[in-house]
Amino acid sequence: MKIKGLVFDFDGLMIDTEMPRLETWQEIFAAHGYSMSMEDYYKIIGSDEVAYDPAEDLSNKIDHRLSTEDINNQVVDKSQEMIFHQPLLPGVKEIIIEAHRSGMRLGIASSSHRDWIVPLLVKHDIRQYFDIVVTREDVTRTKPDPELYLTAMKELDLNPENGIAFEDSRNGIKAAKAAGLFCIAVPNTLTRAMNLQNADKIVDSFNDLTIEELINFK
């Protein structure tokens, strides 16, 4: 069946947000004499609906001298400043422009906040290519629940089987597949070590894809 729409995750897929966030978490843990394991960090990639809360963990370790809100604010302030200066990952802009020119419908489905995503889309001059941007403000449950993708496909006026989702994490892949979309995994430096085999295809970067291949993806 012909593919008519592409839906992109944002964090870690279009911009490397994961490394700055990991480094920030590790620095904050280390400042209090603790360490954050990669195993724990993998639990929070792609969703906030997970069993592990690093801010709560650290707050408990330091006898609540800092609240979870204080810790999260520190992480957000430092990591977002780093992320704002990150470039788009290889091939992202090119595939978006080519897809737009081909007449495909384009959307974003992200567990992040709208006021985080949209300014970065504008900064990198790609907001105009997206027909819809669906974020956590638009749903009751984020990834790995499929609601973000189901909402995106509804707003694009397409059936799930006519769409491809691009993801970089297990939670995102699970959400896309549960919504009935094909899913291509484009892992970043951190998620490359995760088991992403539930995706329909895994590529090293967007440079490995062509619009012709995506339109006829099976």
**SS3 state of residue 86:** coil
The reply to whether 200 belongs to the active site is: no
Residue of 11, 16, 145, 168 with catalytic role: 11
Residue of 9, 16, 145, 168 with catalytic role: 9
Q: Which residue has the tokens 């993801």?
A: 167
Q: Single out the residue of 139, 67, 79, 83 nearest to residue 109, CA to CA.
A: 139
Q: Single out the residue of 214, 10, 182 nearest to residue 98, CA to CA.
A: 214
Q: What are phi and psi of 71, to 5 degrees?
A: -65, -45
What angle, 0 to 180 degrees and rounded to 10, lies between the N-to-C axes of helices 114-123 and 68-84? 10
The reply to whether 9 belongs to the active site is: yes
| Contact status, residue 135 vs residue 117, Cβ threshold 8 Å | yes
Q: Single out the residue of 3, 46, 87 nearest to residue 196, CA to CA.
A: 46
Q: For residue 73, give Cα distances in angstroms to 40, 65, 77, 206.
A: 19, 15, 6, 33
Residues catalogued as catalytic = 9, 11
